[in-house]
Chains A and B, each alone.
With several copies, the nearest count.
Chain A
Amino acid sequence: MAANNAVGIDKEQVFGMAETEMEYRVELFNRLAKTCFSKCVDKRYKENELNMGENSCIDRCVSKYWQVNSMIGQLLSAGGRPPTM
């Protein structure tokens, strides 16, 4: 019974961590998309296509965002401080 329970809790933790990890990735994607849209897309909406300038801006924006994400990830883990508050 106790063993049963222990296994139950562990499994909950595994699912919980998988969920947290996925939520993290989704949030990373959403913030990246929002930020690059603001930085790259003309808000006057004169057409419904992204033009060449917008497309290359987006590609570079994603690439730079990714770099910033890595840099800050390293800073947080280097500080001995895992990304906690």
Chain B
Amino acid sequence: DGLPEQDQARMASMIEHLQLRDSLRMYNSLVERCFTDCVDNFTRKTLQKQEETCVMRCAEKFLKHSMRVGMRFAELNSQAATPE
């Protein structure tokens, strides 16, 4: 609030940087999870149809799950007036 303009810019840039880093980590963890849950056959080097379907459903479910958790999390965060 009372921060000088330059510091506000720096804070915004830090937040942006953390968000980018976090979304890349989420991407990595999503890939690992769906691969682990859906791919178990290594007799061929390309995905089979049902593996592809499984991966897409897994990813979509995970994203919907994240959005739902995000909403609930935000509600609880806002209820906790002074979180510290």
Contact = CB atoms under 8 A, between A and B. Distances in A.
**Touch test A–B (CB under 8 Å):** yes
Given A15-B14, A59-B45, 20 more contacts: A12-B13, A15-B11, A22-B18, A28-B28, A29-B69, A30-B22, A30-B26, A32-B32, A39-B40, A45-B58, A58-B72, A62-B73, A63-B76, A64-B35, A72-B34, A75-B59, A75-B60, A83-B23, A83-B26, A84-B23
A76 B24 CA distance: 11
A62 B34 contact: no
Given A19-B14, A26-B18, A31-B32, A58 B57 contact: no
A85 B42 contact: no
Nearest to B47: A67
A23 to B, nearest CB: 7
Interface string A27-69: 1111111111111110101111110000111111111111111
Given A11-B7, A19-B18, A48-B60, A72 B31 contact: yes
A26 B22 contact: yes
Interface in B7-45: 7, 9-11, 13-15, 17-40, 42-45
A56 B19 CA distance: 28
A54 to B, nearest CB: 8
Given A11-B7, A29-B70, A18 B14 contact: yes
Contacts of B33: 37
15 contacts: A20-B21, A23-B21, A24-B24, A28-B31, A32-B32, A33-B65, A56-B42, A57-B42, A61-B42, A63-B76, A64-B47, A64-B51, A68-B47, A71-B52, A83-B26
